[in-house]
Chain A
Amino acid sequence: MATPSSRPELKIQPWNDPQAVPYISIERVTKKFGDFVAVNDVSLKIYKKELFCLLGGSGCGKTTLLRMLAGFEEPTSGKILIDGVDMAGIPPYERPVNMMFQSYALFPHMTVEQNVAFGLKQDRVPKAEIATRVADMLALVKLAQFAKRKPHQLSGGQRQRVALARSLVKRPKLLLLDEPLGALDKKLREHTQFELVNLQEQLGVTFVVVTHDQEEAMTLSSRIGVMNLGEIVQVGTPKDIYEYPSSKFVAEFIGNVNMFQGRMIEDLPDRVRIESPELGGTIFVDHGVSSAPDVLLWAAVRPEKINISIEKPDQADNVAHGVVKEIAYMGDMSIYLVQLDSGKVVRVTQPNAYRHADDLITWDQSVYVHWHPSSPVVLGE
Chain B
Amino acid sequence: MSNRVPLFRISALVFGFAFLYIPILLLVIYSFNKSRLVTVWGGFSTEWYGKLFANDQILSAAWLSLKIAAINATGAVILGTLAGLALARFGKFSGRTLFSGMTTAPLVMPEVITGLSLLVLFVAMEQFFGWPQGRGVTTITIAHMTLTMAYVTVIVQSRLSTLDDSLEEAAMDLGARPAKIFFLITLPIIAPALVSGWLLAFTISLDDLVIASFVSGPGSSTLPMVIFSKVRLGVSPDINALASIMVLLVTVGVVIAGFLMHAQEKRRQRDMQMAAAGGK
Contacts and interface: CB of A to CB of B under 8 A. Distances in A.
Contacts of B275: 152-155, 158
Given A157-B280, A158-B280, A122 B167 contact: no
Interface stretch (B19-27, B81-89, B174-182): B174-182
A118 B174 contact: yes
B271 A103 contact: no
Contacts of A109: 188-189
Contact of B175 (A93, A150, A158): A93
Contacts of A191: 280
Contact of A105 (B170, B184, B278): B170
Given A118-B176, A122-B176, A155 B170 contact: no
Interface string A77-100: 000000000000001111001110
Nearest to B180: A122
A102 interface: yes
Contact of B164 (A97, A105, A154): A105
Point out which of A109, A166, A191 has the most chain B C-beta atoms below 10 A from its C-beta: A109
A206 to B, nearest CB: 16
A154 B274 CA distance: 8
Interface string B59-91: 000000000000000000000000000000000
B185 interface: yes
Given A101-B170, A105-B166, A118-B171, A152 B176 contact: no
Given A108-B189, A122-B176, A99 B271 contact: no
Contacts of A102: 166
Contact of B279 (A91, A107, A155): A155
B172 A92 contact: yes
Given A98-B173, A158-B279, A158-B280, A103 B166 contact: yes
A107 B280 contact: no
B164 A103 contact: yes
A72 interface: yes
A105 B180 contact: no
Interface residues of A, number: 33
Contacts of A152: 268, 271-272, 275
A155 B185 contact: no
A150 B271 CA distance: 10
B173 A99 contact: yes
Contacts of A93: 172-177
A145 B172 CA distance: 28
Interface string B202-245: 00000000000000000000000000000000000000000000
A323 to B, nearest CB: 47
Contacts of A155: 275-276, 278-280
B47 interface: no
Interface string A183-207: 0000010010000000000000000
A311 interface: no
B169 interface: yes
Contacts of B173: 70-71, 92-93, 97-99, 167
A105 B271 contact: no
A49 interface: no
Contacts of A94: 175
A93 B175 CA distance: 4
A166 to B, nearest CB: 7
26 contacts: A70-B173, A71-B173, A72-B169, A92-B173, A93-B176, A93-B177, A98-B174, A99-B169, A99-B173, A101-B166, A101-B170, A103-B164, A105-B166, A105-B167, A118-B184, A122-B174, A122-B176, A155-B276, A155-B278, A155-B279, A155-B280, A157-B280, A158-B275, A166-B170, A170-B175, A188-B280
Given A107-B185, A152-B272, A166-B170, 5 more contacts: A93-B172, A101-B169, A107-B171, A158-B275, A166-B174
